[in-house]
A and B are shown apart, each in its own frame.
Chain A
Amino acid sequence: MKLSHITLFLAGGLILASCGAGKDDPGREYAPNMYHSVPYEPLTQITDESSGAWVSSLENGVGEYYNSNPNNPNGMTMRVPPENSVPRSRGGYLPYRIPKDSLEMAARLLVNPLDSTAEVVAEGKVLYTRFCSHCHGDQGVEPGKVGEVYGGVTSYKSAAVVDKPGGHIFHVITHGKGRMWPHASQLSPEERWKIVRYVQVLQKQ
């Protein structure tokens, strides 16, 4: 009788003491059905339908933690927007539709909607430092730390590119060229045009 009390006491203590998180263990939650999102949550995916069934109050019979959209490829909760949908943007930018192989046409036709004001160049510099400098280097001449390993990074002052118009630079950021891969998924058209302005400043230095 007495011994079993002690054992219970110890076991209770041990269970509570093991609530914390560890290497692969996220630990315990207080009120778990307030913790887990029932609507689809981006960057979360739990495909196991029985997950959290023990606290479930859902009428469709799936577990409380289940968070996966069976209608999407791989049950993902996020999906690519429908083709030809146009994101809203403050500057009224329309999606860039000139295909990759039409670099010369882009260079000829495109006009930078942003003037080379000090503000635009300063914002371009911030974006350049975040998105370009690890390959192209701070000045766009000597490659940065990643560029040294990657190899084949174009110097902005090389004869092949130094005189290219802004549309050429915009097209190359969007679609990539040579060894450079497209960066359109990371940069909005407005951000790309700002970077173009800063790159042109670097070329003239």
Chain B
Amino acid sequence: MRKRILNNSLLTIMFGVLFFSFSNQAFAQEDSISTDPAAIAAGKSLFSANCKSCHNIHEKMVGPALANVYDRAPSIDWIKAFIKNPTRVIQSGDQYAVDLFEEYGVYMTAFALEDEQIMDILAYVQDETIKGPEVVAADPTAEGGGAAAAGGTVPTEYLNVIVIGLIVVLLLILGVLVLILNIMKRYLNQQGEMDEEDRELVDQRFSLGSMMRSKAFIFLATFILTALVAKGVINGLYNVGIQRGYAPTQPIAYSHELHAGQYEIDCNYCHTGVRKSKSANIPSANICMNCHSAIKPESPEIQKIYAALENEQPIEWVRIHNLPDLAYFNHAQHVQVADLECQTCHGAIEEMEVVEQHSLLTMGWCIECHRTTEVNTKDNAYYEKLLEYHKGEKMTVEDIGGLECAKCHY
């Protein structure tokens, strides 16, 4: 009871403070900043078009956060003058302007806005100030979607648990059956009223040793063992030099699923060499910083980029696709000239949290594609003559020498 009274009084005080501050504001700007929804809407579009690139209402960006600016700044007229010509106000020696310049180190761009437009922007700023900073709710679609997707199929861990459970149950049943058999045997022996045939049946001894020594068993066991080992050996031999499924842990837990999938950043943005050179290139840290100078700089993984830059240490990513030195492969030829999608060879990279090798990268795999793929001759004068000779028929990579040894081995 006492607690509730306390709560109530707290609430009253809070409401009181809120009411007081609101009414205070309303009083202060009564004759200046409009609360008219039309003015606020106009201010919003003006703000997005002109101010947003450097200012946020509640966050410091290139310039100061604008919440409460109408109370903070010397006067509304000062704001108008500053927006129209910031450099002149700063150079006039106005203390407030000089302090701002010293804090942010840049001259704000001058904007040729009408007084009414500036008032509209202030109306929008006031409206946003009163609303307070937007509370970022956790994105329900991201997590819900994942759960829904997982619901469709049983995860493998559960399958294993189920299988182990079944085996345990079966063993228990076997044990119980053996127990029952023994009890029945003892009971029958105690009764002692059996004819010869039945007695033979009951006394029959299962001998593991004699069974193990039987020819049939030895043959069967040898056969199964040899078959299993042979299968293992053949599989093993086929896997020599194949790194499909290699998904090493990287020094920074970078997710292609997040960057290329969720945020749809183009592959070319970071892998700048892919259309120009043999290698697609691993982006250098300055490309990471194009976004991470502002996005999540506090994350421990992103702190590793900062550390690499500060210490001038390269980030030692683990190379996944290791084509043997005896084969030559060129990204530019395949991506820029042939116009292949990255996913053709690298799989659904935009869905990979950790990148793994998707393709076999064997010679047979290369040749298979060269045999079936038609040459991309679109807008490419280099192929004009060849097209004349191949008029009307399919021109595959093989047809223009794509299987020559020296194309890749030299």
Binding site for B on A (CB under 8 A): 6, 9-10, 12-30, 34-38, 41-45, 73-74, 76, 129-131, 133-135, 144-146, 149-155, 157-160, 178-179, 181-183, 185-186
28 A-B residue pairings within 8 Å (CB atoms): A10-B225, A13-B228, A17-B233, A20-B242, A21-B239, A21-B244, A23-B246, A23-B248, A24-B248, A24-B249, A26-B246, A28-B239, A36-B325, A38-B325, A41-B325, A43-B279, A45-B316, A129-B266, A133-B266, A134-B265, A151-B59, A152-B53, A152-B55, A155-B49, A158-B49, A160-B53, A179-B54, A183-B290
Contact partners of A153 in chain B: CB under 8 A: 52-53
Question: B282 contacts which chain A residues (CB < 8 A)?
Answer: 43
List residues of chain B with CB within 8 A of the CB of A45.
Answer: 316
Known contacts A44-B319, A158-B53: A152-B241 contact under CB 8 Å: no
Any A CB within 8 A of the CB of B245: yes
Please encode chain B, from 302 to 324, with 1 for each CB lying within 8 Å of some chain A CB and 0 for all others: 00000000001110100100101
Is B50 close to A, CB under 8 A?
A: yes
Instruction: Tell me what chain A mostly uses at the interface: helix, strand, loop, or mixed.
Output: loop
With A134-B265, A155-B52 known as contacts, the answer to whether A179 contacts B62 (CB < 8 A) is: yes
Q: For window 234-289 of chain B, which residues contact chain A by CB distance below 8 Å?
A: 235-237, 239-249, 262-266, 268-269, 272, 278-279, 281-282, 284, 286-287, 289
Q: What CA separation (Å) do A42 and B273 show in the bound complex?
A: 12
Query: Which among B50, B62, B236 is the interface contact of A18 at CB below 8 angstroms?
Result: B236
Interfacial residues, chain B to chain A (CB-CB below 8 A)? 48-50, 52-56, 59, 61-62, 106, 109, 111-113, 225, 228-230, 232-233, 235-237, 239-249, 262-266, 268-269, 272, 278-279, 281-282, 284, 286-287, 289-291, 293-295, 312-314, 316, 319, 322, 324-326, 357
Given contacts A17-B236, A146-B291, A152-B61, contact A185 B286 (CB under 8 A): yes
Given A42-B279, A73-B312, A151-B59, answer yes or no on A27-B243 (Cβ-Cβ < 8 Å): yes
Give chain A residues whose Cβ lies under 8 Å from the Cβ of B287.
185-186
> CA of A38 to CA of B36 in the docked complex: distance in angstroms?
74
Contact with A9, one of B52, B111, B229, B295 (Cβ below 8 angstroms): B229
- Beta-carbon nearest neighbor of B246 in chain A: A21
Q: Tell me which residues across on chain B come within 8 A of A183, comparing CB atoms.
A: 290
Which of chain A's residues has its CB closest to B266's CB? A130
Tell me, in angstroms, the Cα distance from A44 to B279 when the chains sit together.
Answer: 11
User: Measured between alpha carbons, how far is A131 from B326 in the docked complex, in Å?
Assistant: 34
* Complex alpha-carbon distance, A153 and B279, angstroms: 32
The CA of A129 and the CA of B267, in the complex, are separated in Å by 11
- Docked CA distance A135–B263 (Å): 10
Which chain B residue has the least Cβ–Cβ distance from A18?
A: B236
Nearest CB of chain A from residue B198's CB, rounded to whole Å: 42
Contacts of B291 in A (CB 8 A): 135, 146, 150
State in angstroms the CA–CA spacing of A197 and B228 once bound together: 66
Tell whether, in the assembled complex, residue A179 and residue B294 are in contact, meaning their CB atoms are under 8 Å apart: yes
CA distance A154 to B53 in the complex (A): 4
